[in-house]
Amino acid sequence: MKRDDTTLPAPTRRHFLRLGICSALALGAMPLAGSPVLAAGKGEGVLVAYFSYSGNTRTIAEMIHQRVGGDIVEIKAVKPYPADYDACVEQAKQELSANAYPQISTVIPDMGKYRTVFLGYPCWWGTMPRAVFTFLKTYSLNGKTVAPFCTHGGSGMGSSEADIRRLCPGARLLEGLPVRGRSVKSAGKTVDAWLQSIVF
């Protein structure tokens, strides 16, 4: 029997939008840039802020940004960390034991417009680089949702989540995403699964 299309309601933009959302969920994948979900305004009020010394955390930050939209900013120290790895490890160790707050050059013109902050960093000496501590001291994340992600060589999130909780007592801290540095390039599905598991 031939289907009588006239009996069906004309598909509206909302139908396509709903179809897109259902398909994305059914596929078990987060929406990619350009998908109906993003077109529906995902990304509004979202900031991806990350620190990266050798590029691993930047790779994950860009994956997250591609999926959730919003703004992305790099947390940078005014005085760059030494290019020599061992010298960097030593400086990071000294900064940690001194509870230092190295100056950062990152400027967020209007932190108030963000509801969710994806905060990324490499694990350094079991926690965040001290420049990220400076970021959290400079910009209050109280009242915001914070989704931390970390790349590491075996320590996972370390004590970074406890440190974020201590520095941002008024923030809603979500479960973090740890990714091994050597796995960042193939971490797309892990990032998708994490984004699906958190409500931000």
Ligand X SMILES: Cc1cc2nc3c(=O)[nH]c(=O)nc-3n(C[C@H](O)[C@H](O)[C@H](O)COP(=O)(O)O)c2cc1C
Residues 6+ apart with CB under 8 A from 109: none
Residues 6+ apart with CB under 8 A from 106: 49, 73, 74, 75, 76, 135
Nearest CA to 55 out of 179, 200, 197, 164 is that of 179
Evaluate whether 125 touches 96 at the Cβ level (below 8 Å): yes
31 or 160: CB nearest ligand X: 160
Nearest CA to 113 out of 135, 143, 75, 136 is that of 143
Minimum CB–partner distance for residue 128 and ligand X (Å): 10
56 binds ligand X (CB under 6 A): yes
17 or 96: CB nearest ligand X: 96
List binders of ligand X among 103-132 (CB under 6 A): 122-126
Computed on alpha carbons and rounded to an integer, the radius of gyration of the chain in Å comes to: 20
Minimum CB–partner distance for residue 152 and ligand X (Å): 4
Minimum CB–partner distance for residue 130 and ligand X (Å): 10
Q: Which residue has the tokens 């989704």?
A: 147
28 or 153: CB nearest ligand X: 153
131 or 168: CB nearest ligand X: 131
List binders of ligand X among 4-43 (CB under 6 A): none
Evaluate whether 171 touches 145 at the Cβ level (below 8 Å): yes
34 or 154: CB nearest ligand X: 154
Minimum CB–partner distance for residue 124 and ligand X (Å): 4
List binders of ligand X among 174-193 (CB under 6 A): 181
Give the one residue of 9, 34, 41, 154 binding ligand X; rule: CB under 6 A: 154
88 binds ligand X (CB under 6 A): yes
Q: By CB under 6 A, which span of 94-102, 107-115, 131-139, 146-154 interacts with ligand X?
A: 146-154
Contact residues for ligand X (CB under 6 A)? 52-57, 88-89, 92, 122-126, 151-155, 181
